[in-house]
Each structure stands twice: as structure tokens, then as C-alpha cells.
Amino acid sequence: MVRIWIIVVLILTHFTAIAQVDTGAVSKPAPKRVAPVTPAKVKADSSQHKPKPVSNTIKPATVTDTTKRMVDSAALVPKIPQRSQYDITIDSLKKWNTYFKHLDETPVNDISQSRPDQQDDWLVYVVGGILLLLGIFRVSYLKFFGDLFRAFLNPTLSQRQLKDQLSQSPFPNFLLNFFWVITLGFYIYLLMYRLDYINDEIKWMLIPGLMLLVGLIYAVKYVVLRFCGWLFGSADLIDAYVFILYLINKVLGIVLVPFLVILAFCSDDLAKIGLYISLFFIVLMVGYRYVRSYSLVKQHLAFSKLHFFLYLCAFEVVPVLIIIKALLRIVNG
């Protein structure tokens, strides 16, 4: 039995060996099929031509084209102009300076209304002439002006000493008295002009008429005082009083000059303020004149204060009021 199984095994092994040899003989042409398959995967042609696109991307011509494109694109970018220091300074001023802040805003047209021509150009020439006269007197007689204001501001000096200093120049005395007449006459005209007491028809006659009236009043007053001094034997006293009277008049004529400019050219509000201030100075100077006159006359004559007050009312205040009343009647018709 064992032998039978051994024989069967040997037979089977023999047939399997024959079968292996036959399949190998039949599949002998297989190497021909495998040999070309393996190189098919890595073909010589494909390996040589595959990197071809890479070589195209790094051609010099392509590099040249990109640089040209870069140059062209750089040329298309607008160049920013360099700003000067002047432009930088102006821009900084526009930011913080008050006068440059509104340059970029829309301007507002402020059209002022046309005003009627009042034909007052001649006032410029009159005021300019008065200022020119004062300047000529000031430059020509410098020492006289110094002595004049020193005598006005220092009443304790001897009257004779002051008179001697100022009487050495009679022509400057006459010029300043003439200037006082012009200034006071023109001041009265401006006062009436601001108070609307003047008609256009009498403008040209009123100014010289007022100047002549002021000059006539003070000339008559001077003659009457001299006559009274000769009549009552008080020539020295009248001399001292006339000196004080015309000294203060000269100073007042100079003080009124700035107010002439204000009354002639300023607006109504400023002119009103200037009018009140000028009247205050006039009252102050007249009061100062009477105080100095009283102390002077008291040294020579014995009289009461009531008599001095009656003298002021009769010879100083009442004539002025009568003249103003007469002027208003003449002007208003």
C-alpha cells in the first residue's frame, strides 16, 4: 500500500516538472514583449524633448521683452514734481495764519451802497492849510514855542520874566494870535456843521465871516482893555491880564487842531465824542485863565469875589451868548 502511494507521488511530481518546462517553452517569446515595454516607459525621445518648454522660458529674447515692458510701465507712471521751499512755506501759512485760512473759500461780494457827493472836498484843503501853517510856525520859531508852553505850564514864574522872554519876538506873537483866530473861526463852523445849522448856500461865506468875527471881537476887547488901563491908571495890571489872556488863547488854538480833523472827517459817532472832548478842553482852559487872572488882579486891587463874578458875566459870558444867538438867527433866517 505504501508502495502504491509512493508511486503515485512520483508520477505526480514528474508531471508537474514537465508542465513547468512546457510553460516556460511556450512563453519563451515573452521576453520580446517585456523588453520593449520597459523602455517604453522612459523613451529616449520623450526624455530629450520634455524639458523643451523650460528652455523657451529662459530665452534671452523673453528676458529682453520683460525689461522692455518694465521700462514702458515705468514710463507710464506720472512723475511727481519736486516742490520748492516757497510752496511749502505758503502751504504751512495757509494752515495756521489767520489771513491765509480763507483763501480757498468762496469770496463774498460786499457791494457798498453809493453815497451822494456832498461836495466837501474843500475841507481837505482847509484843514491841510491849517496844519501846514502850524508846522511852519513850529519849525520857524522853535524857541518861542518852548517859552510859550513853559509860561503856560509854570504859573509860578515871574510875570515880568515871562513877558520879557515872549515880547522879544513880536512877529511870532502876532502869527500865533492870527492862527488862534483862524482855528477858532473854523472850529465854530464845524460845530455848526455837525449840529446841522448850516445851509449849503452860505458855506463859503460863513467860514471867512466867522474868522473875521472872532478877530474883530478880540481886537475890540484888546482896545477896550488898553483904554480901561489908561483911564484908571492900571496899565501894568492890564498888561499882565492881556498877557495871560492871549497866552491861553494861543495854547488853545494849538490844542484845537486835532479836534478840527476829527470834526471834519470822522463819522458822526466819533465826531460827537470829539465835540464833547473839545468843549471840555475849552471850558477847562477858560477856567484856568480866570483862575490865573484872579490871582493876578488880587495882587494889585482889593475887590470881592462877587465883583469878579459880575465882571465875568458882563464882559466874558454875556457877549459870547449874544454873538451865538445872533449867528443862529442869521443862519436860520
Of 190, 183, 175, 181, the closest CA to residue 265 belongs to: 190
DSSP character at residue 105: S
Q: What is the dihedral of CA 188, 198, 322, 184, to 10 degrees?
A: 10
pTM of this structure: 0.61
Distance CA(42)–CA(90), nearest Å, equals 77
- Separation CA 182–CA 253 (nearest Å): 8
pLDDT at 2: 60
The residues spanned by each domain of the chain are: 122-332
Res 13: pLDDT: 64
Look at residue 43 in the predicted model and tell me its pLDDT. 46
DSSP string, 14-32: HHHHHHHHHHHHHTTTHHH
pLDDT of residue 65: 52
List the grid coordinates of 239: 498888561
Give the pLDDT of residue 47: 44
Across 105-130, b (16+ Cβ under 10 Å) vs e yields: eeeeeeeeeeeeeeeeeebeebbeeb
Question: Which pLDDT belongs to residue 253?
Answer: 92
For residue 316, give every residue at least 6 positions away whose Cβ sits within 8 Å of its Cβ, in sequence order, or none: 290
Number of Cβ atoms within 10 Å of the Cβ of 189: 24
Among candidates 184, 189, 143, which has minimal Cα distance to 282? 184
Tell me the three cell numbers of residue 215.
Answer: 478877530
Dihedral angle over CA of 137, 142, 144, 145, nearest 10:
80
pLDDT given for residue 75 in this prediction: 54
What whole-number distance in Å separates Cα of residue 74 and Cα of residue 314? Answer: 104
Q: How far is CA 107 from the centre of its chain?
A: 19
> How is residue 121 written as a grid cell?
472836498
Find where cell 491861553 sits. Answer: 248
Q: Which mean pLDDT values do the consecutive 10-residue runs of the chain (333 residues) have?
A: 67 56 44 45 46 47 50 56 78 74 69 68 89 92 85 69 71 90 91 79 78 88 87 82 87 93 90 92 88 78 76 76 75 64
CB 308 within 8 A of CB 297: yes
Q: At what angle do helices 235-255 and 257-265 cross, to 10 degrees?
A: 40
Alpha-carbon span 188 to 195, nearest angstrom: 11
